């Protein structure tokens, strides 16, 4: 019997490549999210330190601290926005990866099913051949007796 050949092998290979690319995109998005999270935490810490500083200051220094706190509050908002965007990007990458895994899994299952049918047909053909050889051998032995 001829060797097993899955006609959709190129499609399966393509879907594996798509899955790997989706996984890489998710890793990059995850790293971007982590970096944005770290920057946001650092910015919040800086704002908290500026707000908690209870030193007696001159009016000029007090004005500068208030201006700095306003600036840092704006930075915190910007960093939160960036974090939300990277979170959405990460979620989208995750959904794409899950879909790519599903697509590849469907192809893998189809390949497994085709291979199972092929193996069953090969076993049946081999059994049939063995039965024919045994039948011929029996007839040969019967004629010679």
Domain boundaries, the chain: 9-104
At residue 93's C-alpha, the angle toward residues 88 and 94, to 5°, is 95
Find the angle CA(21)-CA(80)-CA(93) to the nearest 5 degrees.
15
Model pLDDT for residues 7-63, shown as the tens digit of each residue: 999 999 999 999 999 999 999 999 999 999 999 999 999 999 888 877 777 888 888
Query: CA geometry: angle at 89 spanning 105 and 101, to 5°?
Result: 5
| Residue-wise pLDDT tens digits, 55-110 | 777 888 888 988 999 999 999 999 999 999 999 999 999 999 999 999 999 999 99
- Whether residue 140 is predicted with pLDDT greater than 90 in this model: the reply is no
Write out the two tokens for 30. 């995850």
Signed CA dihedral, 42, 47, 50, 54: sign only: negative
Cα(142)–Cα(145) distance, rounded to whole angstroms? 5
Distance CA 122, CA 108 (A): 21
């Amino acid at each position: 019997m001829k060797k097993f050949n899955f006609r959709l092998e190129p499609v399966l290979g393509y879907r594996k490549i798509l899955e790997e690319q989706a996984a890489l995109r998710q890793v990059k998005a995850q790293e971007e999210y982590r970096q944005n999270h770290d920057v946001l935490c650092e910015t919040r810490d800086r704002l908290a330190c500026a707000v908690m500083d209870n030193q007696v200051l001159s009016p000029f220094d007090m004005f500068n601290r208030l201006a700095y706190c306003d600036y840092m509050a704006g930075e915190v908002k910007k960093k939160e926005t960036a974090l939300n965007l990277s979170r959405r990007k990460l979620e989208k990458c995750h959904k794409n990866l899950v879909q790519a895994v599903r697509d590849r899994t469907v192809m893998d299952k189809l390949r497994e099913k085709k291979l199972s049918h092929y193996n069953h047909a090969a076993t049946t053909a081999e059994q049939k051949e063995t039965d024919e050889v045994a039948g011929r051998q029996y007839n040969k032995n019967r004629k010679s007796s």
